[in-house]
Structure 1
Amino acid sequence: MTNPSTPTLKVEFELSESDLAFFRDRLDKAREDRADLDESRITAGVADMISKALASNPPEFVRSRLGQLGPLIGMLDDADWKLEGEDRERVLNALAYFSDPEDLIPDATPGIGYVDDAIMIELVAGGLAPELEAYADFVAHREDLKTPEATEMPPLEDVRKVMQNRMRRRRGRAKAGGSWGHSTGSVHHYF
């Protein structure tokens, strides 16, 4: 994006609790509007948004956050992970915002069109930290099973059960007031 001789500009901002409440309200609205969308339309909408965002050559702040949506879609599509019921609904509710092209800042706005999406991704990633960590560990174990040492490892189905149980326990602790993952206020209580 930039070459070494081009000066860069660093912009930092902090969102207050009322700012975060505004963004959470937008996520709530997307979740309510989701009633009209089936799962395939949500995941297709998110994939389309990611593709368009990357094609627009967004700032690194946005680009790095877009990558966090891949594992969320992956855990829905992964036949081995078998995410079901309330767990699946949590992820779909979180992704609903990104499937709607009508968001806070029009995506076609050069340079900043996907900044609101990046903020929402941060909220979603914080809220789904137990799911994201459990899925990452599951995927890593699946890759480890392809190695010669795999004969000493537990089978994938057993690991899936352990990881999903751990995910639910950690989510329960976060809802009960424990901290989890990100230091973004009460983001982990959102979903």
Structure 2
Amino acid sequence: MPIQISFELSDSDLEHFRTMMKAAMSKASKLPPAEVLQKARSVCAEMEQANLPDFVKRRMESLETLISALEDPEWQMPEDEKNEILTSLAYFSEPEDLVPDNIPGLGYVDDAIMIELVIQELSQDLSAYRQFCKFRTTEETRRGSEANVNRDSWLDSKRTELRSNMRRNRSTGGSRRLFSRRD
């Protein structure tokens, strides 16, 4: 019979985790980006082999999405965004955990908390990349696997969508015009 335990982290608890994250970031800043990525992938692989609680699995999927975004040549991520994500993945390149991973059910709690902090910090990046992946899949299905789908084509599509929504809102009275066409 499963048991559910909920806990809340106070601001001082979160500050403790942020301090740990900063220390890991400082150590990892000396590592080449490829090594940080490789170590983050290794953590994901280890976690996939472990019997993880669902709350950790859900967060791990977001961590894998961030890694995919970094490695996706079609996403064409700007360097400053890459560096921000790499820096956020630094904790996972650090072998020493707050809670040892081999403790059943609890070993990945600290990893889940750190992943959650990263997710909160990079939620806009995650959301945009997920939308891009959905767009890419739709376009490849519609136009075939040879479709040239990249960040620029996605942004063009998003602009078109926003303009279309804006025109539709205007025509249905969604926004009042300050000036009539006769002005």
TM range, smaller chain: 0.7 to 0.9
Runs (4+) of structure 1 moved beyond 6 Å?
none
Which of 121, 138, 141 is residue 115 of structure 2 equivalent to?
A: 121
Deviations 1:62-85 (A, max 9, x none): 122111111100011000011132
Unmatched tracts of structure 1, length 5 or more: 1-6, 164-191
Cα distance, 1:160–1:36 mapped onto 2, change above 3 Å: farther
Alpha-carbon distance between aligned partners in 2 of 1:146 and 1:79, rounded to the nearest angstrom: 16
1:92 aligns with 2:83: no
TM-score by length of 2: 0.77
Alpha-carbon spacing, 1:148–1:56, altered in 2? closer, same or farther (3 Å): closer
Alpha-carbon displacement from aligned partner over 1:67-124 (angstroms, at most 9, x marks no partner): 1111100011000011132111110011110121212112222321111000111111
The alignment partner of 1:113 has SS state of coil
Question: Given the superposition, is the C-alpha separation of residues 84 and 148 from structure 1 closer, same or farther in structure 2, using an over 3 Å criterion?
Answer: closer
Shift of 1:158: 2.4
Match of 2:30 in 1: 36
After the TM superposition, which residues 94-109 of structure 1 pair with which residues of structure 2 at under 5 Å, given as runs? 94-109=88-103
Is 2:99–2:110's contact at 8 Å kept on the other side of the alignment? yes
Give, as a single letter, the amino acid of the residue that structure 2 aligns with 1:88. K
Partner of 2:76: 82
Which 5+ residue runs of structure 2 have no aligned equivalent? 158-183
**Identity across aligned pairs (percent)?**
36
State the distance in 1 between where 2:149 and 2:111 align.
37
Matched with 1:3 is none
SS in structure 2 of the partner of residue 65 of structure 1: helix
Alpha-carbon distance in 1 for matches of 2:41, 2:64: 9
* Residues 78, 155 of structure 1: alpha-carbon distance in 2 compared, 3 angstrom cutoff: closer
* Aligned positions, number: 156
Question: TM-score, normalising length from structure 1?
Answer: 0.74
